[in-house]
Amino acid sequence: MKKEFFSTLENILYEQDFQTKVYKFNDFYENFKQNNLIFNHEFKAILKDNSRKDLILVHPTRIRRPKFTNSTQALAKTLHSIAHIEFSAINLALDASYRFTNLPLKFYTDWLEVTNEEIKHFMLLQKALEDLGYKYGDFAAHDNLELALKATKDSLSLRMGVVHRGLEAKGLDANPFVQKKLQSNNHPIKSYLKEVLDIILNDEIKHVSKGDFWWNFSKKDDEQFIDLCKKFKQFSLVGKSINEEARLKAGFSQEEIKALQKIDFY
């Protein structure tokens, strides 16, 4: 008997044990690719706290950015913050696939593919943390992504705009800066980290491109991204230094980028 898509996905989304979550997702994803699932588009999604019990979450303003020094702990804190973003991105992609019904099959294909890649990103960073003698959950993390998920739960266009065209694109802006700082560290792990961050950047361009596609699919004709940034200023949807090359590849126009560069969102 074929499993139902949304109810099975709910079980995966709210699974707390990471290894179990990955196992369940891999099985689900294989069934999806083999067309072994049925869709009940009358399904009603729920929303509940999905934060890890072993992780301290605080407001972004309470997170002290680690200084880029040659200490192992400072490096681990930086990697932990990136790992937290990637872990949160797993649930955000799962939640998009789970929460929004009555959409073309391409939508679910896109966001399950993103989920699969975010899992790989997190596991690569998890290995780096373990190599340094740490693990995910050893440091506090911000709740910005969890708050963004909740704030956009009732609107596909807001979810795609705020989360995947906004916060995920902000990651494109941050990547070169983080790369440069990590390479200034003398730790032997830095060559591995460069490979990981290159993988993440290339994949995230594709993810933002998917967000761009579905934002354009769902938004009102006169809706402008810059207005969305102003409306959701609390999430700081644009990096302080914009990665023009990556954003252009992901679907942003040159005009949008120029407009974003002129506005102070901080």
For the residues 111-129, what does the mean pLDDT come to? 98
Position with higher pLDDT, 196 vs 1 = 196
- pLDDT of 49 reads 85
Helix ranges, 152-240 (H) = 156-158, 168-183, 190-218, 225-231
Task: Give per-residue burial for 219-235: e unless 16+ CB within 10 Å, then b.
Answer: beeeeebbebbeebeeb
For the residues 60-83, what does the mean pLDDT come to? 76
257-266: per-residue pLDDT in tens?
999 988 765 5
State both tokens at 88: 């949160």
Give percent of the chain above pLDDT 70.
94
- pLDDT of 248 reads 97
State both tokens at 250: 């992901």
Name the one residue in this structure whose structure tokens are 């795609």: 160
Taking the C-alpha atoms of residue 150 and residue 147, their distance in angstroms, rounded to an integer, is: 5
pLDDT at 156 over 70: yes
Q: How far is CA 207 from the centre of its chain?
A: 9
pLDDT at 66 over 80: no
For the residues 51-79, what does the mean pLDDT come to? 72
Taking the C-alpha atoms of residue 28 and residue 12, their distance in angstroms, rounded to an integer, is: 9
Taking the C-alpha atoms of residue 38 and residue 261, their distance in angstroms, rounded to an integer, is: 45
State both tokens at 126: 């998890």
For the residues 178-190, what does the mean pLDDT come to? 85
Nearest to 256 by CA among 242, 236, 241: 242
208-231: per-residue pLDDT in tens?
999 999 999 999 999 999 999 989
- pLDDT of 35 reads 96
Give percent of the chain above pLDDT 90.
73
Taking the C-alpha atoms of residue 18 and residue 235, their distance in angstroms, rounded to an integer, is: 27
- pLDDT of 71 reads 82
Taking the C-alpha atoms of residue 200 and residue 100, their distance in angstroms, rounded to an integer, is: 26
Taking the C-alpha atoms of residue 181 and residue 123, their distance in angstroms, rounded to an integer, is: 22
pTM recorded for the entire structure: 0.94
| Mean confidence (pLDDT) of the chain | 91
pLDDT at 108 over 80: yes
Nearest to 8 by CA among 34, 33, 47, 39: 39
- pLDDT of 99 reads 98
Q: Residue 141 belongs to what H/E stretch?
A: strand 141-142
Confidence of residue 55 (pLDDT cuts 50, 70, 90): confident
For the residues 50-54, what does the mean pLDDT come to? 77
